[in-house]
Structure 1
Amino acid sequence: MNYEHNLFDRLKQSLLNTRKKLGDNIIKLIRNKNIDIDILNNIEHKLLVADISTQTTQKIISNLRNYINLHADYNNKSFYDILRNEILNILIPVDQPLLIQEKNPFVILTVGVNGVGKTTTIGKLAYHYRLKNKTVMLAAGDTSRVAAIDQLEIIGKYSGCVAVIKNNTTSDSASVIFDAVKTAKMKLIDLLIIDTAGRLQNKIHAMEELKKIIRVIKKIDIKAPHETILVLDANIGQNSINQVRMFNNAIKITGIIMTKLDGSAKGGTLLSIADHFSIPIRYIGIGPNIDDFQPFEPHNFVEAIFKK
């Protein structure tokens, strides 16, 4: 129980900026006031400022307006509870924890643009499953940068991975990944996590390279990759929506990890992504350390921002 409280306390601390911009401001806005059209307009503004998309914001405001019209006996507390529930209802459908099945190996392909913290997130993911006694291998598929390979090697050792498969003599990431899947299968590794080069979501050539990587993986296991995770940076706000759309159109994204929530006041972006795409949000990054990483849990996320 103490462990669970500690996780929630760390989550609350990491979402402090989002809570100040969103939850605290709305509490101040409605305190000891009748909820009228001006208050609703101000709430709408607060939601938009917290980087909740116009579409999602309008949905929330419309439901709040309907609630007021149907419940003449509402008060500030019940109104605030309804607001929290509206947001929770958007997030609950994407509450689908990642289940590592016995695939030998279970293959996770990670994708994302430059700078989102993808390689660091791979280390956190590896460490998370090492704590669950899974054998983990990493594949250095970002062959465009020697620094990325070096970083993945350091992370792999620190997180207790069996090995980091790399090839410093080739720029062909598909061949490195092919060797990694084959090696992981031969060694009966539980989990293989593949790093890929950061790429702009609107570059056709880069997306075609991802498709090639997937085809190479399927030569060894037709059902792999078993999970394709898009890593997003909370700081970039609404641009995340475009990233999800472009990556998902090119290759089917099965899970999302949002990083850097601790340094952002834009946690509302996660709500928009859930509303727009219904893609499972698997994990969130809440700090720089290797254990600053949690499975996404909607109730805790909402409670951390909209404290009573």
Structure 2
Amino acid sequence: MSDPIPHRIHARPVPRPGRFLAAAVVLVLAAMVVNGLVTNPNYRWDTVWLYLRDVVVIRGVMWTLVLTFGSMAIAVVLAVLLAVMRRSDNPVMRWVAWAYIWFFRGTPIYTQLVFWGLLAVLYPRLSLGIPFGPEFFSFSTRDVITAFWAALIGLALNEAAYLAEIVRAGLSSVDPGQTEAAKALGMKDSKILRRVVLPQAMRVIVPPTGNETISMLKTTSLVIAVPFTHDLFYATNAIGNRLYQTIPLLVIAAIWYLLITSVLMVGQHYLERYYGRGFGTETGRRRAGGGTGPSGSRKERKARKQDLIRQSGTTKDDPFLEVTP
């Protein structure tokens, strides 16, 4: 039977054997890795399943989460303050913020945590008063700055230096015309930052902040430098030393870190989607242009027709009622 449309081009997909070869190689390598994990008796999977839900391990997971979210909450507040100071017209504010970021980004977090653990040795008593003048009151450093608070403050102050640059980049991404328009309406600087600039900057701030949160989760394993001995890594390490089975307990710690990281990645995905609404997405194009194509979807045209019917008082069977894109 002849083709009713002459000279039609019968296109065929271009063969790509390299893709199938690469996929086969990757699958073979992945199968080898899984086989090595499952069949190697040195991993002691029986010990892994036995202690995966141990009370001490679960308590370590809870303390790790407290350190992660507590330090990130403090760091976010400090980061916004530092970013605003970096953008301030006051040179003292700018230089203080720059010096803070320079110091905490330039020294290792482990070293900082060691100093926080030695705070009671360096300053046995802390006081509040006038410099070189009278003291209003004082207290023992060891009684107030416990190992937990030292770990929390040390992690937060270090993270604030990194987040400050992220927030500053997000604030700089907002068109200056937004601020000028808000000032023309008589809005105060604090309200402009809170209601105009920050909501638009969140699209840029959220992705790297999510990465920093995941990084903070794993950085909590360094609080042994304080020393704080209730986090997940220390708990699993202590059990492994007691049983002389270090590898299975390290596997348990890795599993828990992977589980928590997976949950944080899902939350980061939804936050990015929420703050990225209308920026380079199909939803944003539909909102800006009234549909996916020149005339919008059938559902949108029907909704516009119903609006016209309600506004004009005509019936839906009116042949002269047409909805144009």
**Fold match by TM threshold 0.5:** no
Structure 1 or 2: more helix by fraction: 2
Q: Which has the larger radius of gyration?
A: 2
Structure 1 or 2: more strand by fraction: 1
Structure with larger RCO (C-alpha < 8 A, sep 6+): 1
